[in-house]
């Protein structure tokens, strides 16, 4: 009898341990998620018939003849042909006196003063004769109406002065949006005042071709960014939460060259460790904003220390620090090609004779591999 009771107790203890483990896993995932996707049918996989119009991808609607593909189009011939996610995708056409939009009602209205992270992927059709400088999304209280004004406060866009091309690969258009509250729709397209002025020729010597830019669109998401009060509801364990600000102070240039070395600013670590300080939030946001504005740019983060201590240890900690930055950006959705390297006390930029000079040598540099 005693043996039976012991077995039962052991089973109960194992069950409790399993429950606690699952609860911890749930708490961790709940703290790190960015919430559900508020965009219905985000990759256009659900459709009601075989029509090639975007309204077939319920509940999406289009302005103009917005195309809908359930398989790669015959004109979609590059190595990147087909959808970014799943099998289906959409297409938007832009001409000097004509432009298309697509829009959908969100699964729930946006909350006032809440930060949301938006992302979609676009890809240029190779037969396009021009590219556009700007593509983006407008957050609206109402569905699309002809003649409606697109206020800058409701607009989230990506602008490239040389045109959005990406060599026909899928390009992320993404960023954070602070809601004024009550927005129910997203409208996707080009919002330039003059469509013709937004064109960039693919071939500057091409003077007579009909100017048209055509972009495929896929994999659209809008997720609520977690804040401290959200994580408090899940677990009392304190966690580091980065809250994005509506405006980020600019500290990096707009243009870059191959081999350019930029000292990363305002990112700090706990002494002797690779743990980011909470005071690094500002620097991380500034650097992330710059990378998101140049999603094709390839970079390498190099970590350095001063000359104090063992060089092998210095190399190890410098590598862990740049790895922490790399992993932070990957987790936050930065898509740039990135690598990292720890170089310890190599290449000092100041003599290691005073604490002030040693602080200068403890740095993170970003090397531009490909602009």
Kindly indicate the confidence band of residue 17, based on its pLDDT and cuts at 50, 70 and 90.
very low
Q: How far apart are CA 188 and CA 39, in angstroms?
A: 12
Average pLDDT, integer, range 157-186: 88
Give yes or no: residues 172 and 305 share one domain: no
Last residue of a domain, one of 224, 258, 288: 224
Give yes or no: residues 185 and 303 share one domain: no
Give yes or no: residues 214 and 82 share one domain: yes
Q: How far apart are CA 152 and CA 28, in angstroms?
A: 37
CATH number at residue 111: 2.60.120.260
Q: How far apart are CA 117 and CA 331, in angstroms?
A: 13
pLDDT for the residue 230:
55
Question: C-alpha distances in angstroms, 198 versus 66, 99, 188, 286?
Answer: 20, 12, 16, 27
**CB atoms inside a 10 Å sphere around CB 116:** 24
> Is 116 a domain residue?
yes
Domain range enclosing 58: 54-224
Give yes or no: residues 198 and 125 share one domain: yes
pLDDT for the residue 204:
63
In contact, 186 and 96? CB cutoff 8 Å: no
Last residue of a domain, one of 189, 224, 259: 224
Token pair of 367, please? 């090397």
Give yes or no: residues 197 and 261 share one domain: no
> Is 307 a domain residue?
yes
> Is 128 a domain residue?
yes
> Is 20 a domain residue?
no
Burial grade of 173 (CB within 10 A; 0-12, 13-18, 19 or more): buried
Q: How far apart are CA 163 and CA 212, in angstroms?
A: 13
pLDDT in tens, 296-319: 789 999 999 999 989 999 999 999
pLDDT in tens, 95-128: 999 999 999 999 999 999 999 999 999 999 999 9
> Is 241 a domain residue?
no
Give yes or no: residues 185 and 299 share one domain: no
Q: What is the DSSP string of 142-205?
A: S---TT----GGGEEEEE-TT-S-GGGS-EEEEEEEE--S---EEEEE---S-TGGGEEESSTT
> Is 22 a domain residue?
no
Residue 5: φ, ψ to 5°: -60, -40
Last residue of a domain, one of 180, 209, 224: 224
pLDDT for the residue 209:
81
Maximum distance among all Cα pairs of the chain, rounded to whole angstroms:
95
> Measuring CA to CA, which residue among 265, 259, 309 is closest to residue 287?
265
Give yes or no: residues 252 and 219 share one domain: no
> Is 17 a domain residue?
no
Give yes or no: residues 81 and 151 share one domain: yes
Look up the pTM and report it.
0.59
pLDDT for the residue 320:
95
pLDDT in tens, 320-361: 999 999 999 888 778 788 999 999 999 999 999 999 999 999
Give yes or no: residues 297 and 359 share one domain: yes
Give yes or no: residues 68 and 147 share one domain: yes
Give yes or no: residues 204 and 269 share one domain: no
In contact, 287 and 263? CB cutoff 8 Å: no
In contact, 370 and 298? CB cutoff 8 Å: yes
In contact, 189 and 100? CB cutoff 8 Å: yes
Average pLDDT, integer, range 204-217: 83
In contact, 187 and 138? CB cutoff 8 Å: yes
pLDDT in tens, 26-54: 333 333 335 799 999 999 999 999 999 99
Average pLDDT, integer, range 188-209: 84
Residue, of 165 and 63, whose pLDDT is higher: 63
Please, which residues bridge with residue 215 across strands?
92, 124
Average pLDDT, integer, range 139-162: 90
Residues in the chain: 371
pLDDT for the residue 149:
92
In contact, 137 and 185? CB cutoff 8 Å: no
Average pLDDT, integer, range 152-162: 85
CATH number at residue 294: 3.30.1330.60
> Is 274 a domain residue?
yes
In contact, 43 and 82? CB cutoff 8 Å: no
Number of domains composing the chain: 2
Give yes or no: residues 79 and 180 share one domain: yes
């Amino acid at each position: 009898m005693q043996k039976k009771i012991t077995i039962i107790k052991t089973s109960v203890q194992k069950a409790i341990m399993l429950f606690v483990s699952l609860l911890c896993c749930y708490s961790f995932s709940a703290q790190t998620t960015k919430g559900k996707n508020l965009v219905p049918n985000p990759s256009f996989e659900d459709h009601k018939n075989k029509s090639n119009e975007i309204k077939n991808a319920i509940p999406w609607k289009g302005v103009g003849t917005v195309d809908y593909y359930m398989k790669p189009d015959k004109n979609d011939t590059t190595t990147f042909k087909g959808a970014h996610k799943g099998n289906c995708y959409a297409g938007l056409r832009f001409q000097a006196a004509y432009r298309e939009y697509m829009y959908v009602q969100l699964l729930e209205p946006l909350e006032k003063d809440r930060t949301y992270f938006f992302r979609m992927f676009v890809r240029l059709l190779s037969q396009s004769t021009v590219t556009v400088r700007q593509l983006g999304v407008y957050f609206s209280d109402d569905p699309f109406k002809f003649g409606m004004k697109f206020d800058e406060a409701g607009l989230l866009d990506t602008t490239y002065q040389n045109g959005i091309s990406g060599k026909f690969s899928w390009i992320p258009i993404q960023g954070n949006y602070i809601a004024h509250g009550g927005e129910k729709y997203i409208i996707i397209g080009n919002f330039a005042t003059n469509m013709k002025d937004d064109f960039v020729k693919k071939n500057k010597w091409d003077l007579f071709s009909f100017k048209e830019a055509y972009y495929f669109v896929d994999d659209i998401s809008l997720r609520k960014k977690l804040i401290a009060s959200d994580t408090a509801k899940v677990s009392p364990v304190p966690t580091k939460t980065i809250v994005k600000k509506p405006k980020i102070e600019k500290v990096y240039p707009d243009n870059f060259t191959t081999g350019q070395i930029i000292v990363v600013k305002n990112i700090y670590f706990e002494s002797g460790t690779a743990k980011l300080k909470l005071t690094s939030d500002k620097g991380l946001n500034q650097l992330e904003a710059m990378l998101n504005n140049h999603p094709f740019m390839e970079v390498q983060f190099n970590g350095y220390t001063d000359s104090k201590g063992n060089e092998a240890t210095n190399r190890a900690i410098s590598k862990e620090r740049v790895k922490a930055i790399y992993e932070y950006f990957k987790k936050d959705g930065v898509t740039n090609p990135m690598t990292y390297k720890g170089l310890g006390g190599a290449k000092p930029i100041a003599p290691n004779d005073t604490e002030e000079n040693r602080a200068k040598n403890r740095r993170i540099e970003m090397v531009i591999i490909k602009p």
